[in-house]
């Protein structure tokens, strides 16, 4: 007998609606030291919260958000700040552990 399977994307989307989970996910992506990983994490969070809804809150067009969060995206700091604001998040800097 085969049990019910859980859809990974649905489970991840549900988790990323929680701001604390989204922050942990973004911080993990930043630790990868990869712009692509960070942009993918932002895109996954925006998808989980509704891309159109986030773009309106961020005051960015949906098209520009898709471009900036693509694998080849190179967003400006002001665009990233607007996007994070639309997600209810903000940039933070902390002392590096040595």
Total of domains in the chain: 1
Instruction: Give the pLDDT confidence score for residue 1 in this predicted structure.
Output: 57
Q: Specify if 44 maps to a domain.
A: yes
Cα-based angle 81, 86, 92 (whole degrees, multiple of 5): 40
Among 2-6, 24-28, 75-79, where is mean pLDDT lowest? Answer: 2-6
Instruction: Give the pLDDT confidence score for residue 26 in this predicted structure.
Output: 95
Q: Specify if 79 maps to a domain.
A: yes
The share of the chain scoring above pLDDT 90, in percent, equals 76
Query: Containing domain of residue 54, as a range?
Result: 8-86
pLDDT at 15 > cutoff 90: yes
CA dist 72 and 54 (Å) reads 21
Q: Specify if 67 maps to a domain.
A: yes
Q: Specify if 40 maps to a domain.
A: yes
């Amino acid at each position: 007998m085969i049990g019910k399977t859980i859809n990974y994307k649905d489970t991840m989307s549900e988790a990323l609606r929680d701001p604390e989970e989204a922050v942990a996910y973004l911080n993990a992506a930043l630790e990868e030291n990869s712009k692509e990983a960070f942009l993918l994490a932002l895109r996954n969070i925006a998808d989980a919260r509704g891309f159109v809804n986030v773009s309106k809150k961020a005051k960015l067009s949906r098209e520009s958000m898709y471009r900036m969060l693509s694998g080849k995206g190179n967003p400006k700091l002001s665009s990233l700040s607007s996007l994070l604001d639309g997600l209810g998040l903000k940039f933070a800097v902390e002392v590096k552990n040595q």
